[in-house]
C-alpha cells in the first residue's frame, strides 16, 4: 500500500511539474520577446538620436542598413537576435543546472551512489535533484541490504555446516565402532550406542532451532494471541524449572506484584523466550547460586528481568549476544553450550510481540530485560489489567 501511495504521489508530482514547466517555457518565450521588442525600440531611438547629431560611425552604419536592407527588415533581424540572446541568457542558469543533473545521473548509472546533487533552487529543477538524491540513497540502501542478505545466507550455510558436521562426525565414529564389532562386551556396546543417541538428540535440537529461527527471521510465523497474566505464566514456568535449578545447585525465585500483569501474546512462544533465558542463567550463572525473576508494570509496558550472579559477560560481547550462532565463550560447541540460536530466536519472538529485549552485565550481576506492551482490556490495545 505504501509503495502504491508513493507511486501515485510521484505520478501526481510529475504531472504538476510538467504543467509548471510548460507554463514557464511559455513565460520565458513571451518575456524574451517583450525584452527583445523593448531593446530593439530603445536601440532604434538611440540610433535616430545619434543619426540626427551626425555621429559619423553610427550614421554610416544606419545609412547602409537603410539603403541595402531596409528599416523594417533590419528591425526584425535585430529583434530576432535579441530574442535568441534573451532566451539563452534567461535560461542559462537552468540549462547549466540541468546539465549538472544529467552528469550526476550518468555518475549514478556507473554505480557512484554516494554522489549527491546540490539543491540550488526550490522549483521543479530543485525538486528533481532532490528526488534523484532520494532515489540514489534508496538504491544504495537496497543494494546494501541485498549484499547483507547474501552474506547472511553464506554465513548461515557456513555455520550450519560447521555445527552439523561435529555431531555427525561423532555419530559416524561411534556407529563405525559398533558396525566393525570393535567393542569388548555388551556394556561397551551400550555405551557407544548411548553416546550416538545423545549426539542424535543434540543434532535434532540444532535442526529444530535452525528451522524455528529461519521461520521467525523470514516472517513465516504467525502469533496465536490471547490474554495472558504474565505473572501467572512466569510462576508456572518457575515451578516447572525449579527442579533443573536445584539439580544445578541453584535457587530460582520470582518476585512480582499482587495485581495481574496482563498482556496479549502467544503464550507458547513467550514460554520459549523465558525458558531460554532461565536455562542460560542456570547454565552460566552457577557461581552465583541464585536466579532471580522480577515482573512488574512500567508505564504501558510489562517488564520482566532474569538476573543471575555468575561470571559477567564481557562488555565487547554484549552488542552481539542476540546475533545468530554467537557464543560468548568461543571454545563452547553445541555440546557444551547451546546452538547459538536461542537468544536470536528469543529476540525475534519478543520483536514479533512489539517488545524489546536487552542485556546488561557487570561484576555484580547479569540481567536480561524483556519489555512487552500491556493489555488494557480491549482487543488490539495495551494497558494494565487486574
Other CB atoms within 10 A of residue 133 CB: 17
Per-residue pLDDT, 38: 87
What is the phi/psi pair of residue 258, to 5°?
-75, -30
Per-residue pLDDT, 227: 92
Q: What is the pLDDT along the chain (386 residues), one digit of tens a residue?
A: 444 454 455 555 556 666 666 777 777 788 888 888 888 888 777 777 776 766 656 666 666 766 677 777 877 888 888 888 888 887 777 778 778 878 888 888 787 777 787 877 777 777 878 888 888 888 888 888 788 777 767 766 776 676 677 778 888 888 888 888 887 888 888 888 888 888 888 788 777 777 777 777 666 677 888 999 999 999 998 888 888 888 888 899 999 888 888 999 988 889 889 988 998 898 888 888 899 999 998 888 999 999 999 888 888 888 888 876 665 554 444 444 455 677 888 888 898 889 999 999 888 899 999 999 998 766 544 343 33
Per-residue pLDDT, 302: 92
Per-residue pLDDT, 308: 92
Tell me how far apart the alpha carbons of residues 210 and 70 are, in angstroms, rounded to a whole number: 93
Per-residue pLDDT, 8: 53
Residue 1: alpha-carbon gap to chain centroid = 19
Per-residue pLDDT, 331: 43
DSSP bridge partners of 74: none
Domains of the chain with bracketed CATH: 2-112 (no CATH), 154-217 (1.10.287.130), 226-373 (3.30.565.10)
Please state the length of the chain.
386
Sign of the alpha-carbon torsion through 68, 72, 75, 76:
negative
Per-residue pLDDT, 355: 92
Is 74:41 a contact under the CB 8 Å cutoff? Answer: no
Look at the pTM and tell me if it is higher than 0.75: no
Grid cell, residue 291, equals 536466579
**CA angle (42, 45, 68) in 5-degree steps:** 105
Per-residue pLDDT, 134: 85
Give the orientation angle of helix 71-109 with respect to helix 2-52, to 10 degrees. Answer: 150
Amino acid at each position: 500500500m505504501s509503495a502504491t501511495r508513493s507511486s501515485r504521489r510521484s505520478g501526481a508530482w510529475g504531472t504538476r511539474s510538467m504543467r509548471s514547466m510548460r507554463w514557464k517555457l511559455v513565460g520565458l518565450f513571451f518575456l524574451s520577446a517583450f525584452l527583445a521588442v523593448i531593446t530593439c525600440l530603445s536601440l532604434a531611438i538611440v540610433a535616430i538620436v545619434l543619426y540626427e547629431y551626425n555621429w559619423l560611425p553610427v550614421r554610416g552604419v544606419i545609412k547602409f542598413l537603410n539603403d541595402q536592407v531596409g528599416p523594417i527588415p533590419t528591425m526584425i533581424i535585430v529583434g530576432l537576435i535579441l530574442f535568441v540572446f534573451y532566451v539563452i541568457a534567461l535560461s542559462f542558469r537552468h540549462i547549466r543546472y540541468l546539465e549538472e543533473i544529467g552528469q550526476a545521473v550518468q555518475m549514478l548509472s556507473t554505480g557512484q551512489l554516494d554522489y549527491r546533487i546540490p539543491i540550488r533552487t526550490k522549483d521543479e529543477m530543485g525538486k528533481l535533484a532532490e528526488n534523484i538524491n532520494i532515489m540514489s540513497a534508496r538504491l544504495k540502501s537496497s543494494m546494501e541490504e541485498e549484499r547483507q542478505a547474501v552474506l547472511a545466507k553464506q554465513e548461515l550455510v557456513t555455520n550450519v555446516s560447521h555445527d552439523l558436521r561435529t555431531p555427525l562426525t561423532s555419530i559416524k565414529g561411534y556407529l563405525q565402532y559398533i558396525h566393525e564389532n570393535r567393542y569388548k562386551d555388551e556394556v561397551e556396546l551400550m555405551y557407544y550406542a548411548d553416546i550416538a543417541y545423545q549426539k542424535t538428540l543434540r543434532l535434532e535440537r540444532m535442526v529444530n532451532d535452525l528451522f524455528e529461527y529461519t521461520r521467525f527471521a523470514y516472517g513465516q510465523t504467525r502469533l496465536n494471541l490471547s490474554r495472558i497474566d504474565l505473572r501467572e505464566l512466569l510462576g508456572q514456568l518457575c515451578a516447572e524449572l525449579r527442579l533443573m535449578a536445584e539439580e544445578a545447585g541453584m535457587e530460582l525465585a520470582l518476585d512480582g506484584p499482587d495485581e495481574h500483569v496482563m498482556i496479549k501474546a502467544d503464550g507458547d512462544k513467550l514460554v520459549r523466550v523465558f525458558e531460554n533465558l532461565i536455562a542460560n542463567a542456570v547454565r552460566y550463572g552457577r557461581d552465583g547460586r541464585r536466579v532471580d525473576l522480577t515482573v512488574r508494570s512500567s508505564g504501558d509496558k510489562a517488564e520482566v528481568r532474569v538476573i543471575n550472579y555468575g561470571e559477567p559477560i564481557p562488555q565487547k560481547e554484549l552488542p552481539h549476544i542476540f546475533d545468530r550462532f554467537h557464543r560468548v565463550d568461543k571454545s563452547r560447541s553445541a555440546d557444551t553450550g547451546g546452538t547459538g540460536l536461542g537468544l536470536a530466536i528469543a529476540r525475534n519472538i519478543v520483536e514479533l510481540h512489539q517488545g524489546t529485549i536487552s542485556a546488561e552485565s557487570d561484576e555484580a550481576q547479569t540481567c536480561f530485560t524483556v519489555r512487552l506492551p500491556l493489555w488494557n482490556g480491549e482487543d488490539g490495545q495495551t494497558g494494565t489489567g487486574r
